[in-house]
Structure 1
C-alpha cells in the first residue's frame, strides 16, 4: 500500500493530535507537554526515544535492516507569543500563545511519517525523527546542536518542510541554493541627557538622535550592499519617554536584518555600528549596538533538493512540484543544522488560509497526509533495500 493511502487510514487520529497541539500551544523551549505527547506516541510505535535534547527537544530513532545510512527528518514544535483571533472549536486555550505558523501541523506530519515507517515502512538503515523546540528566534536548533545532536544521532542527510498559505494542498515548492534568508535582531541603546520638554536646549534629545540614526541606517542597503546581493534592514520599534513634558534620558531602536550571505550580514553589522556611533556623537549622545545573528542563511543542497523533489513528484505528479521556488526573506533556524549536514527544506501547500503569523491563521489538516507521506516515501527511496534496487 502506498504511504499516502496507509497514512490516510489514520488521518483522523493525526487530526485529533494536531488540534490538541493547537489548543495547547507552548512557547519556545517550554514545550514540555508537546514533547511528552510526541515521546509517548513514538514509544507506542516501538521507536527508541531520547527526551530533553536541547532542553525540550525529542529525538526518535528507528532502525531497520543492516544499512549504515541515516536520514534525519525534522519538525518544529513551538508556538508564537500572540493572541489567536479565530472561532475554531480547538482555538488556543492559552492567552498570548498561538500556533500561528503551523508548527502544530509540522509536528503532526512528522508523527504521521514515524508511525507509517515504524509499522509499515520498508527501508534499510536508520531514521532520526528530530522534534525541535524553539524555532521562532529562541535558538532551539542551536540548543540541540550544542547538546550533540549529530554526534549522538549521526545523519547523512536531513530534511524538513514548512506549510505555505496560498499554495494548493497537494503542491510542493523547492529550489537548490538559497531558500530562506539569514536573520539578525538588533537593539541600539542611545543615551542623551534628559530635560523638561519646555527647555530642549538643556537636553541631548535621544529621540531626535534615534530618528536620525533610523533614517541613516537605510543607506546601508541603498549604498553599501552590492546591487547583486539581496538584503533587508527594518527598524521595527523606537522606544523612549513616558510623559508629554519630559525629554527622556535614553531611547532604544530595535529591528531586524535579513540577507542570503554571511558576508553581507557582517557588512550590515559593521555599517550599523559605524552609523549609530557617528550620528550619536554628532549630537553629543552615545549609542551602543547589540547585533545578534539569530538565523543562518538556509541553503538547499542540490543533491538532497533533487531527492525530495523527486519523491514529491512521485507522490503528486511533476506538474504539482515547483522546482524553481524563489528564495524568501523569512528565516528558519533549520539552517544551522544544514550547515553541519547536507539537506533540503521544502514548502507544501496550505490552501487558501490566512498568512503565517496572522491571528486568523490555521494549519490545513488536509495537508497532513501529503506532508507525512512525502517524508515517509523519501526515506523508503533513499534507504531502499538492495533487493528492491
Structure 2
C-alpha cells in the first residue's frame, strides 16, 4: 500500500477540501442534486464511465476491466434534518440540514479511491474485472438502497460482491471492524392513535381518558421484549413520541404514540408486531378507547456473507495490520439500508474508526464532524479490497 499512501499524501489537502465542501452543502434524501453533480463531475474528469439519475439522485461509475467478476463499492451521500451547532469554517450553509452521520466522509473516501484506481489503471492497464462505484442517495430513513435495487442496480451493473463502509465514533482512527453474519439490526416503525370522546377534566367518567390509556400503553409496550422475546435474541422496542392535549382542563379526544423496533431475526420482529397488536386490542377493551396501529416494515437487518467479510478483513489487515482489525464484536442495534443490497447480492459492511473527542461525538449529534484523518484509511481500504478481490479471484 506504499504507492497509495504516497499518492494520497500528495493530494491530501485537495481531498480533505472535497469533504469539507460536501459538509458545508448538505442535502436531504433524494435531494442530493449538488452532491451528485460534484461526484459525477470528478468521476467524468478521471475517465470513468458515469451514470447519473440512478434512483433519482444516485450516481454509478464504472472502471471497465477484463473478464473477471466485478466488484461493487458503495457510499451514501445524504444528510440529516438537524440544525448544526458547530462553528468551524465548513459548517453547514443550509439551516436545518447537516452531515451529522459522516456521509460526506464516506463519499469522499470512495471518490479518492476511484481517482487513484482510475489513474493507476490508466498507467498499468485495465483491472482484471470491472469496478463499480455506487454513490447512493437517501440512506437516512427513505430507503435509497431499496430504490436502487428495485430500479435494477444489479441487473444494469452486475457484481459478484458489494461492499460498504461506515464511520464508527469512539473507535480509534486507523482501526477497522468487520465480521460475517449479523452486523446491524433491522428497523421498523409504529404509530398508534388512541381515540376517546374527550371532555372536561373535572368529569373524566363522561369523556374517557386517552391520556391515561396512552401512558399505560407506553409502559406496557416496554414489557414486550423482556417478557416475550427469547433472552438469546437481540431486540429493542422504543416508544419515542407521545403527543396530545391542548389545555389544562380538557381531556383530549386523541393521543398519538410512535416508536421503533430493532431486530435481527424476522420471526422475532413478527412476534413483537403481534404483541403490539394485542396490546392495542387490550387497551381498547380495558380503557374504553379506540386504538389504531400502523406498523411499517422499514429496513431489514444487515447480514454480511462470510466469504466477502473474510476478504474485507484480509484487505483491512493489508492496510493497518492484524492488531488493528476486529472480526469478533457484537452486532450493532443501529440500522443501515445497505441491507437491501445485501439481500440481493452477497457482500459485506465494514466499520472504520472515526476517533473520539472533538468531532468524534455520537452520530446524529449537532456537533458531529467526520474526522478527516480517517479519509486516507478508508480510501486505502477500498484500494486494498479491489486488489485482494481480483488477486484471489485469479488465484482460484
User: What corresponds to 2:68 in structure 1?
Assistant: 68
Q: For 1:387 and 1:128, how far apart are their aligned partners in 2? A: 18
Does the alignment pair 1:203 with 2:210? no
Q: For 2:88 and 2:319, how far apart are their aligned partners in 1? A: 31
**Which of the residues 346, 352, 356 maps onto 2:350?**
346
User: What corresponds to 2:375 in structure 1?
Assistant: 368
1:124 touches 1:385 (CA, 8 Å); kept in 2?
no
When normalised by structure 1's length, the TM-score is 0.97
User: What corresponds to 1:182 in structure 2?
Assistant: 186
SS of equivalent residue, structure 1 residue 332: coil
Does the alignment pair 1:127 with 2:128? no
**Which of the residues 268, 293, 304 maps onto 1:300?**
304
Q: Deviations over 1:281-339 (max 9, x none)?
A: 32111111111121111111111111011001011111111111221100111011001
1:231 touches 1:257 (CA, 8 Å); kept in 2?
yes
SS of equivalent residue, structure 1 residue 274: helix
Q: Deviations over 1:242-301 (max 9, x none)?
A: 222221111111011101111111111111111112212321111111111211111111
1:240-259 matches, within 5 Å, as: 240-259=244-263
The alignment covers a number of residue pairs equal to 388
Does the alignment pair 1:17 with 2:13? no
SS of equivalent residue, structure 2 residue 149: helix
Structure 1 runs of 4+ off > 2 angstroms? Answer: 1-5, 384-389
1:80-229 matches, within 5 Å, as: 80-121=80-121, 123-229=127-233
SS of equivalent residue, structure 1 residue 125: coil
Q: For 1:267 and 1:386, how far apart are their aligned partners in 2? A: 42
Over aligned residues, Cα RMSD in angstroms? 1.5
Does the alignment pair 1:35 with 2:36? yes
Greater shift, 196-205 or 38-47, is seen at 196-205
Q: Deviations over 1:143-193 (max 9, x none)?
A: 111111111111110101111111111111122111100011111111111
Gaps of 5+ in 1: none
Greater shift, 249-258 or 195-204, is seen at 195-204
User: What corresponds to 2:287 in structure 1?
Assistant: 283
SS of equivalent residue, structure 1 residue 10: helix
Gaps of 5+ in 2: none
Structure 1 position 214, deviation (Å): 1.1
2:68 touches 2:390 (CA, 8 Å); kept in 1?
no
